[in-house]
Protein backbone atom coordinates (compact mmCIF):
# COMPACT_ATOMS: atom_id res chain seq x y z
CA UNK A 1 0.00 0.00 0.00
CA UNK A 2 1.30 3.47 -0.95
CA UNK A 3 0.37 6.90 0.42
CA UNK A 4 1.02 10.03 -1.65
CA UNK A 5 0.75 13.70 -0.71
CA UNK A 6 2.45 16.10 -3.17
CA UNK A 7 2.10 19.23 -0.95
CA UNK A 8 4.03 17.94 2.06
CA UNK A 9 7.60 17.06 2.94
CA UNK A 10 9.24 14.51 5.25
CA UNK A 11 6.55 11.90 4.65
CA UNK A 12 7.22 9.02 7.04
CA UNK A 13 5.01 5.91 7.32
CA UNK A 14 4.86 3.00 9.77
CA UNK A 15 5.26 0.38 8.45
CA UNK A 16 7.26 1.80 5.55
CA UNK A 17 5.35 3.43 2.74
CA UNK A 18 4.66 0.84 0.04
CA UNK A 19 4.60 -2.13 2.44
CA UNK A 20 2.17 -5.01 2.07
CA UNK A 21 -0.48 -5.14 4.72
CA UNK A 22 -2.27 -8.11 6.19
CA UNK A 23 -6.06 -8.03 6.47
CA UNK A 24 -7.02 -5.57 9.25
CA UNK A 25 -3.56 -3.96 9.40
CA UNK A 26 -3.02 -0.25 8.85
CA UNK A 27 -0.40 2.16 7.55
CA UNK A 28 0.12 5.42 9.51
CA UNK A 29 1.97 8.35 7.93
CA UNK A 30 3.05 11.80 9.11
CA UNK A 31 4.35 14.78 7.15
CA UNK A 32 4.96 18.54 7.42
CA UNK A 33 3.92 21.59 5.42
CA UNK A 34 5.49 25.04 5.65
CA UNK A 35 2.91 27.81 5.52
CA UNK A 36 3.49 30.17 2.59
CA UNK A 37 2.38 33.72 1.94
CA UNK A 38 -0.10 32.32 -0.56
CA UNK A 39 -1.65 30.25 2.24
CA UNK A 40 -1.93 33.37 4.42
CA UNK A 41 -3.48 35.37 1.60
CA UNK A 42 -5.96 32.57 0.94
CA UNK A 43 -6.83 32.33 4.62
CA UNK A 44 -6.57 28.54 4.64
CA UNK A 45 -4.60 25.57 3.35
CA UNK A 46 -6.26 22.50 1.82
CA UNK A 47 -4.17 19.32 1.88
CA UNK A 48 -5.17 16.12 0.10
CA UNK A 49 -3.58 12.68 0.49
CA UNK A 50 -4.27 9.57 -1.59
CA UNK A 51 -3.70 5.85 -0.99
CA UNK A 52 -3.31 3.19 -3.64
CA UNK A 53 -2.87 -0.57 -3.59
CA UNK A 54 -2.60 -3.36 -6.14
CA UNK A 55 -6.04 -4.36 -7.28
CA UNK A 56 -7.78 -1.55 -5.40
CA UNK A 57 -9.26 1.78 -6.43
CA UNK A 58 -7.28 4.87 -5.48
CA UNK A 59 -8.89 6.65 -2.52
CA UNK A 60 -8.25 10.28 -1.56
CA UNK A 61 -9.23 12.49 1.35
CA UNK A 62 -8.48 16.11 2.25
CA UNK A 63 -8.23 18.35 5.29
CA UNK A 64 -8.44 22.14 5.34
CA UNK A 65 -6.31 24.03 7.80
CA UNK A 66 -7.40 27.58 8.59
CA UNK A 67 -4.39 29.84 8.43
CA UNK A 68 -3.53 32.38 11.11
CA UNK A 69 -5.20 35.70 10.37
CA UNK A 70 -5.21 39.17 11.93
CA UNK A 71 -6.97 42.08 10.23
CA UNK A 72 -7.92 45.64 11.21
CA UNK A 73 -10.73 47.99 10.16
CA UNK A 74 -10.38 51.69 10.97
CA UNK A 75 -13.25 54.22 11.22
CA UNK A 76 -13.95 57.62 12.80
CA UNK A 77 -17.03 59.40 14.16
CA UNK A 78 -16.90 62.61 12.08
CA UNK A 79 -20.28 63.21 10.34
CA UNK A 80 -20.57 62.26 6.69
CA UNK A 81 -20.89 65.28 4.38
CA UNK A 82 -20.91 65.48 0.59
CA UNK A 83 -17.90 67.63 -0.26
CA UNK A 84 -15.99 68.69 -3.35
CA UNK A 85 -12.46 67.31 -3.25
CA UNK A 86 -9.41 69.12 -4.68
CA UNK A 87 -9.75 67.09 -7.92
CA UNK A 88 -13.31 68.55 -8.29
CA UNK A 89 -14.98 65.20 -7.59
CA UNK A 90 -17.78 64.98 -5.04
CA UNK A 91 -17.70 62.40 -2.27
CA UNK A 92 -19.52 61.60 0.95
CA UNK A 93 -16.72 61.72 3.49
CA UNK A 94 -16.29 62.21 7.26
CA UNK A 95 -15.90 65.96 7.76
CA UNK A 96 -14.60 67.89 10.78
CA UNK A 97 -13.98 71.60 11.24
CA UNK A 98 -10.82 73.10 12.70
CA UNK A 99 -10.84 72.91 16.49
CA UNK A 100 -13.16 69.88 16.67
CA UNK A 101 -12.23 66.48 18.12
CA UNK A 102 -12.51 63.19 16.21
CA UNK A 103 -12.64 59.70 17.76
CA UNK A 104 -10.89 56.94 15.79
CA UNK A 105 -11.87 53.27 16.24
CA UNK A 106 -9.68 50.30 15.28
CA UNK A 107 -11.58 46.98 15.17
CA UNK A 108 -9.34 43.94 14.77
CA UNK A 109 -10.29 40.35 13.93
CA UNK A 110 -8.39 37.16 14.76
CA UNK A 111 -8.61 33.91 12.77
CA UNK A 112 -8.86 30.43 14.28
CA UNK A 113 -5.24 30.35 15.44
CA UNK A 114 -3.91 31.99 18.58
CA UNK A 115 -1.23 34.59 17.86
CA UNK A 116 1.73 36.05 19.72
CA UNK A 117 3.55 39.41 19.80
CA UNK A 118 0.68 41.44 18.41
CA UNK A 119 1.42 45.06 17.47
CA UNK A 120 -0.94 47.85 16.34
CA UNK A 121 0.48 51.11 15.03
CA UNK A 122 -1.39 54.20 13.87
CA UNK A 123 0.30 56.99 11.93
CA UNK A 124 -1.28 60.37 12.70
CA UNK A 125 -1.06 62.81 9.75
CA UNK A 126 -0.13 66.49 10.01
CA UNK A 127 -3.15 68.61 10.90
CA UNK A 128 -4.25 66.34 13.75
CA UNK A 129 -3.04 66.41 17.36
CA UNK A 130 -3.29 63.36 19.60
CA UNK A 131 -5.41 64.02 22.70
CA UNK A 132 -3.18 62.86 25.55
CA UNK A 133 -4.85 60.27 27.76
CA UNK A 134 -7.58 59.40 25.23
CA UNK A 135 -6.17 56.08 23.94
CA UNK A 136 -7.97 52.93 25.11
CA UNK A 137 -6.88 49.30 24.96
CA UNK A 138 -8.71 46.01 24.60
CA UNK A 139 -8.58 42.91 26.76
CA UNK A 140 -5.25 41.92 25.20
CA UNK A 141 -3.85 45.00 23.47
CA UNK A 142 -2.46 47.70 25.76
CA UNK A 143 -1.60 51.25 24.72
CA UNK A 144 2.17 51.83 24.90
CA UNK A 145 2.82 55.41 23.81
CA UNK A 146 2.50 58.19 21.27
CA UNK A 147 5.81 59.08 19.60
CA UNK A 148 5.53 62.77 18.74
CA UNK A 149 8.63 62.62 16.51
CA UNK A 150 7.20 59.92 14.23
CA UNK A 151 3.54 60.82 15.03
CA UNK A 152 2.87 57.14 15.76
CA UNK A 153 0.57 55.53 18.34
CA UNK A 154 1.47 51.98 19.43
CA UNK A 155 -0.42 49.15 21.15
CA UNK A 156 1.07 45.70 21.95
CA UNK A 157 -0.26 42.30 23.04
CA UNK A 158 1.75 39.28 24.20
CA UNK A 159 -1.05 36.99 22.99
CA UNK A 160 -3.97 37.63 20.66
CA UNK A 161 -6.77 35.10 20.99
CA UNK A 162 -9.98 37.09 20.42
CA UNK A 163 -11.40 39.97 18.40
CA UNK A 164 -11.28 43.41 19.98
CA UNK A 165 -11.27 47.20 19.64
CA UNK A 166 -8.93 50.06 20.54
CA UNK A 167 -9.70 53.79 20.22
CA UNK A 168 -8.17 57.24 20.55
CA UNK A 169 -9.05 60.90 19.96
CA UNK A 170 -7.39 63.59 17.86
CA UNK A 171 -8.04 67.34 17.63
CA UNK A 172 -8.17 69.07 14.25
CA UNK A 173 -5.49 71.78 14.24
CA UNK A 174 -6.02 75.40 13.22
CA UNK A 175 -4.81 75.69 9.63
CA UNK A 176 -5.53 72.01 8.86
CA UNK A 177 -7.87 73.05 6.03
CA UNK A 178 -4.84 74.39 4.12
CA UNK A 179 -3.19 70.95 4.05
CA UNK A 180 -3.71 68.27 1.40
CA UNK A 181 -7.24 66.90 1.77
CA UNK A 182 -8.52 64.63 3.05
CA UNK A 183 -6.33 63.98 6.11
CA UNK A 184 -5.59 60.23 5.99
CA UNK A 185 -4.73 57.98 8.94
CA UNK A 186 -3.13 54.56 8.39
CA UNK A 187 -3.44 51.81 11.01
CA UNK A 188 -1.46 48.53 10.78
CA UNK A 189 -1.74 45.31 12.78
CA UNK A 190 0.87 42.53 12.86
CA UNK A 191 1.98 39.44 14.78
CA UNK A 192 4.63 36.74 14.65
CA UNK A 193 2.34 34.37 12.78
CA UNK A 194 0.74 36.81 10.31
CA UNK A 195 1.63 39.32 7.67
CA UNK A 196 0.88 43.02 8.36
CA UNK A 197 -2.64 44.20 7.56
CA UNK A 198 -3.53 47.91 7.16
CA UNK A 199 -6.57 50.11 6.80
CA UNK A 200 -7.11 53.86 6.38
CA UNK A 201 -9.58 56.42 7.72
CA UNK A 202 -10.07 59.84 6.09
CA UNK A 203 -11.29 63.16 7.47
CA UNK A 204 -12.00 66.19 5.28
CA UNK A 205 -11.37 69.61 6.84
CA UNK A 206 -13.28 72.43 5.06
CA UNK A 207 -11.95 75.97 4.74
CA UNK A 208 -13.45 78.10 7.56
CA UNK A 209 -16.00 80.71 6.36
CA UNK A 210 -14.78 84.30 6.16
CA UNK A 211 -15.87 86.62 8.95
CA UNK A 212 -18.53 89.07 7.68
CA UNK A 213 -17.95 92.77 8.53
CA UNK A 214 -20.51 95.61 8.35
CA UNK A 215 -20.07 97.89 5.28
CA UNK A 216 -19.05 101.54 5.93
CA UNK A 217 -21.79 104.20 5.86
CA UNK A 218 -21.85 108.02 5.28
CA UNK A 219 -24.99 108.55 7.36
CA UNK A 220 -24.20 110.34 10.62
CA UNK A 221 -25.87 108.82 13.63
CA UNK A 222 -27.38 111.33 16.05
CA UNK A 223 -26.14 111.10 19.59
CA UNK A 224 -28.85 113.14 21.29
CA UNK A 225 -26.82 116.36 21.56
CA UNK A 226 -28.63 119.58 20.70
CA UNK A 227 -27.59 122.48 18.54
CA UNK A 228 -28.12 125.84 20.32
CA UNK A 229 -28.57 127.77 17.07
CA UNK A 230 -31.55 125.64 16.06
CA UNK A 231 -33.22 125.26 19.47
CA UNK A 232 -33.09 128.92 20.75
CA UNK A 233 -35.94 130.25 18.53
CA UNK A 234 -38.09 127.30 19.55
CA UNK A 235 -37.45 127.95 23.25
CA UNK A 236 -38.30 131.68 22.88
CA UNK A 237 -41.50 130.89 21.00
CA UNK A 238 -42.62 128.48 23.71
CA UNK A 239 -41.78 131.02 26.40
CA UNK A 240 -43.88 133.70 24.64
CA UNK A 241 -46.87 131.39 24.41
CA UNK A 242 -46.59 130.70 28.12
CA UNK A 243 -46.56 134.44 28.92
CA UNK A 244 -49.62 135.11 26.80
CA UNK A 245 -51.47 132.29 28.40
CA UNK A 246 -50.66 133.51 31.88
CA UNK A 247 -51.87 137.00 30.96
CA UNK A 248 -55.24 135.70 29.83
CA UNK A 249 -56.00 133.42 32.69
CA UNK A 250 -54.43 135.17 35.72
CA UNK A 251 -57.21 136.86 37.85
CA UNK A 252 -56.94 140.63 38.57
CA UNK A 253 -56.49 141.40 42.27
CA UNK A 254 -59.49 143.03 44.07
CA UNK A 255 -57.60 146.27 44.86
CA UNK A 256 -56.79 146.73 41.23
CA UNK A 257 -60.46 146.28 40.29
CA UNK A 258 -61.52 148.96 42.82
CA UNK A 259 -58.98 151.44 41.46
CA UNK A 260 -60.33 150.83 38.02
CA UNK A 261 -63.89 151.47 39.08
CA UNK A 262 -62.88 154.74 40.89
CA UNK A 263 -61.36 156.10 37.79
pLDDT at position 260 is 40
How many residues belong to the chain?
263
pLDDT at position 163 is 96
Domain ranges for the chain = 2-66, 70-203
Element spanning 37, H or E: helix 37-42
* Domain 70-203: assigned CATH number: 2.60.40.740
Q: What is the pLDDT along the chain (263 residues), one digit of tens a residue?
A: 899 999 899 999 999 999 998 888 999 999 998 877 777 667 678 889 999 988 888 999 988 776 778 999 999 999 999 988 778 889 899 999 999 999 999 999 998 788 999 999 999 999 999 999 999 999 999 999 999 999 999 999 999 999 999 999 999 999 999 999 999 999 999 999 888 999 999 999 999 988 777 666 655 554 545 455 555 555 455 555 444 444 444 454 444 344 444 34
With CA atoms as reference, report the closest residue to 122 among 164, 171, 96, 156.
156
pLDDT at position 259 is 41
Whole-angstrom distance, CA of residue 263 vs CA of residue 252: 16
Whole-angstrom distance, CA of residue 3 vs CA of residue 53: 9
Amino acid sequence: MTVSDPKVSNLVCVPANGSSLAPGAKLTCTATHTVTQADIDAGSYLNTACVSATGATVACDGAEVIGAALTVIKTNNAPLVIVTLPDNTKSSIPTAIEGSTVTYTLDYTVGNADLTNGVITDLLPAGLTFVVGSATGSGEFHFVSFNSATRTLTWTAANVTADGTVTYKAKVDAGAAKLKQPLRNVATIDSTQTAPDSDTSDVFVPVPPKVQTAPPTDVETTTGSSHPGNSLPLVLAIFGVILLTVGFVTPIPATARRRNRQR
